[in-house]
Structure 1
Amino acid sequence: MWTNLKSNFKIVQTMRKSFIDRHLSTSISEALRYLPVVTLTGPRQSGKTTLCREKFPELPYANLEDATVMDEVNADPKAFLNKYPQGAIIDEAQNYPQLFSYLQVLVDEDRFQGRNDRRFIVTGSNNFTLMEKMSQSMAGRTAVMTLLPLSTQEILNYVPQASASQLILNGGFPAIWTADERGRSLQLSNYYTTYIERDVRRLINVVNQRAFQTFIRLCAGRIGQEFNASSISNETGVSVPTIKNWLSILNASYVIHLLQPYHANISKRLTKTPKLYFYDTGLAAFLLGINTIEQLDTHPLRGNLFENMVVNDFIKHGTNAGREEFLSFYRDKSQHEVDIIRTLTDKVEAYEIKSSQTFHTDFFNNLNYIRPLLTEKLVKTAVVYDGNQENAQAENAFLNFRHIFD
């Protein structure tokens, strides 16, 4: 325990020294060269505000969770926007999604007048509310980007000594990396009660709060497994439609995401059920009651959490570049499974994820199985694991999880 506390203290001191540079900032700057608005979504506490204010200090800042600002917006939204002749950062826009309609008029008027010097960055934590209004008003006028919690590479740039277990346990919320063990637990508890339950209450009427709490913990216990709404319904006593509704809200709020099964015109019968993951492994570990590295390293779901971390890094590799990664998994009725199928136009890559620190050649069994099924479309296969031995050039490559995208 003392070793872990000392290690965590070193990490805390390192992370407090400087702003954590986010890879997405380059994509935002590039988008603002061509478009008047960037819409930045992502979970609460993922660092959206810090990124915008640190990287774009020339833009004024307005937070729509500030009651005074909201009074001003409600009174005269057009006048509010015109206060910013050079543009602004408008934070927590899901609190007033109608703002996009007024922003559309302003942007179109700027274009008509030949103005090209006003830029807005609009952020929001609820994808459903934000995207519904934005898609109606801002087509062709905004770049939509997502800032997820810190990627493994973003953390390792500042804390190169962090182990896989520390990365899983802490997850990617920046504030967690500036806290000690006790602070981590308190912040995640506060995140769950303040943000997750509050956001859910805003979107749906949760009549049975205890059933919902059971539901989200059951989801944490099913990381990396196919999502079975009927099974969870039986364990919570809540109807299947309600379970599916709760899942959709948690997905829209960047708490849970589903990895869809791979579908192709091949002769095998493939599963049609998606697999469940959390956007943050630290939150998932907290919901599982895992509070120390010792607990994590002996927990039966440690491998699932490692897989979740790697899947998230594939997703973040795309979102941090301002694009979507097209990911799926392979599983057929004979239970042959490959954890990630990454589609690149007309080619695919296949990855197995293993939490072991020791490499075994049988890690390639399922990759070798699907090779003739995917034929010439398959251009790369690799095992991603927690060991130090690597061979990135072989037909079947094996990589440490830190070096997937090197």
Structure 2
Amino acid sequence: MIERICHIDKELEDSIFLFGARQTGKSTFLRQKFPDSIYIDLLDTTIKGRFSRRPSLLYEMLSNKEVGTLVIIDEIPEVPELLNEVHRLMSEKGLVFILCGSSARKLKRKGYNTLGGRAYPVYLFPFVSAEIPDFDLQQAINYGMLPPHYLAKNSHRRLSAYIDVYLKEEIKEEALVRNLNTFQRFLEVAALTDGEMINNNNIAQDCGVSANTVGNYFDILEDTLLGFRVPAYTKTMKRRLVQAPRFYYFDIGVANHLLHRKE
């Protein structure tokens, strides 16, 4: 097994939100690092159904646990109503939680309890070269650094499925954009300009939308952890910023696949 670099203490004193893009290995990492924790997997439809119908069940299950007991709830955005019970258990019983998910956007958009600063965010990213014995640069460039893709012999189909699932579950089902085809075109243009300074007007012309819409699209990519913007460097806080930020996909394999998926 590959040991991940993620700075979470073995003995946690504070609760955390662990965020990371799909398939970065969050669940595997948590199961390996905290094998003695109470683990609640909301991807299990039976468990999800029980808590969806009665969120207070979580409090009933855990209220008799000792102070400092670690509880991991995987995919907390699936049943965000549980956050009220988590809040109660932290405040009244002194339990410690790791709340895992692929995006905080669902929680923010619908105004769910984000624990008011009682849990700090930690991010698990795709592989980095320091984690991988005998790191293969060609494999990383071709297929990216998401664990299932880097470790596969040929992950072209996996990359296609990954992007399709992202478009369907993260974008379409959450109604984040009105026109999915336009957003898909934006993903490709963003891949073409990966690492370059962002020009919203130029990208807007290529996609047939407004510059404001392009800005919103970049916000979606950041909120769903598919990419990130790097602000332009400035020496002083008093001077007006004259350069644009740059945008990078978290995983080069995703960017490359978006560029060549129609070939």
TM range (shorter): 0.7 to 0.9
Change (3 A) 1:199 1:62: same
Is 1:90 the equivalent of 2:73?
yes
Shift of 1:67: 2.4
Is 1:34 the equivalent of 2:13?
yes
Q: Distance in 2 between matches of 1:208 and 1:161?
A: 40
* Matched residue SS, 1:83: helix
* Matched residue SS, 2:9: helix
Is 1:166 the equivalent of 2:139?
yes
Partner of 1:76: 54
Q: Distance in 2 between matches of 1:146 and 1:122?
A: 12
Check whether the contact 1:203–1:249 (CA below 8 A) recurs between aligned residues. Answer: no
Shift of 1:280: 0.5
Is 1:239 the equivalent of 2:210?
yes
Q: Distance in 2 between matches of 1:231 and 1:203?
A: 27
Partner of 1:301: none
Partner of 1:66: 44
Matches of residues 107-118 of structure 1 in structure 2 within 5 Å?
Answer: 107-111=90-94, 118=95
Letter in 1 for 2:52: N
Is 1:101 the equivalent of 2:107?
no
* Matched residue SS, 1:204: coil
Q: Distance in 1 between matches of 2:40 and 2:113?
A: 22
Partner of 1:121: 98
Is 1:23 the equivalent of 2:5?
yes
Letter in 2 for 1:230: N
Q: Distance in 2 between matches of 1:284 and 1:247?
A: 14
Change (3 A) 1:167 1:127: same
Q: Distance in 2 between matches of 1:279 and 1:73?
A: 33
Q: Kindly tell me the number of residue pairs found equivalent between the two proteins.
A: 256
Shift of 1:124: 0.8
* Matched residue SS, 2:8: helix
Query: Is the deviation greater in 231-240 or in 204-213?
Result: 204-213
RMSD over equivalenced CA pairs, Å: 2.5
Q: Distance in 1 between matches of 2:93 and 2:240?
A: 55
Percent identity, aligned pairs only, is: 28
Q: Distance in 2 between matches of 1:142 and 1:53?
A: 20
Is 1:254 the equivalent of 2:232?
no
* Matched residue SS, 2:170: helix
Gaps of 5+ in 1: 1-18, 112-117, 291-406
Q: Distance in 2 between matches of 1:263 and 1:203?
A: 36
Q: Distance in 2 between matches of 1:247 and 1:269?
A: 22
Change (3 A) 1:130 1:188: same
Shift of 1:205: 4.7
* Matched residue SS, 2:260: coil
Deviation string, structure 1 residues 216-275 (Cα, Å, up to 9, x no partner): 001000011111111111111122222222211111001121110012239998633111
Q: Distance in 1 between matches of 2:258 and 2:39?
A: 34
Check whether the contact 2:73–2:99 (CA below 8 A) recurs between aligned residues. Answer: yes
Partner of 2:123: 146
Check whether the contact 2:56–2:85 (CA below 8 A) recurs between aligned residues. Answer: yes
Shift of 1:161: 4.7
Is 1:47 the equivalent of 2:25?
yes
Q: Distance in 2 between matches of 1:209 and 1:278?
A: 19
Deviation string, structure 1 residues 84-140 (Cα, Å, up to 9, x no partner): 4344321111122232222111111114xxxxxx4322101113234676774242x
Shift of 1:56: 1.0
Q: Distance in 2 between matches of 1:266 and 1:146?
A: 28
Q: Distance in 2 between matches of 1:266 and 1:55?
A: 41
Letter in 1 for 2:39: Y
Structure number with bigger Rg: 1
Check whether the contact 2:172–2:180 (CA below 8 A) recurs between aligned residues. Answer: no
Check whether the contact 2:143–2:156 (CA below 8 A) recurs between aligned residues. Answer: no
Change (3 A) 1:105 1:185: same
Check whether the contact 1:104–1:138 (CA below 8 A) recurs between aligned residues. Answer: no
Q: Distance in 2 between matches of 1:28 and 1:244?
A: 33
